[in-house]
Amino acid sequence: MTIQPAKLRDPAVRAFVNAVNSRDREGFLSLLAPDATMADDGSDRDLADWIDQEIFSTHGHLEVDNESNGGRSLIARYRNDTWGEMRTRWSFTVEDDGRISRFETGQA
């Protein structure tokens, strides 16, 4: 059962999913803290390179199936033009100012 992005509990995570799905790179970047970091399958990656290769140049799209941890952990079907669709997990660290300082993803 897919959870509509508008129904996601955490405002920063909701905005993250909406930015990915609408291919809004500027909006996406505005959600991140200046020193934000990320990891994919347990390995830290260069944030700018990763989002270009995995999201924005390859038409990334998230369909959320489950949320936990107050909306800061997701299980989602993620697809892009490179890898097709896969079941993924996402976790977010959101700072007091509402910006995301770290996100981690990988296969679920």
Q: Which regions of the chain does DSSP assign to beta strands (E)?
A: 32-40, 43-45, 61-68, 73-80, 84-94, 100-107
Give the tokens for residue 63: 């369909």
CATH number for the domain that contains residue 15: 3.10.450.50
Q: Say how many domains are in the chain.
A: 1
Give SS3 for 27. helix
The closest of 3, 33, 5 to 21, measured between CA atoms, is: 5
CB 20 within 8 A of CB 28: yes
Domain of residue 22, residue span: 5-107
To which residue do tokens 């924005």 refer?
A: 56
pLDDT at 48: 95
Burial class (CB in 10 A: 0-12, 13-18, 19+), 39: middle
pLDDT at 64: 98
Extract the residue ranges of the chain whose pLDDT is less than 70.
none
pLDDT at 100: 98
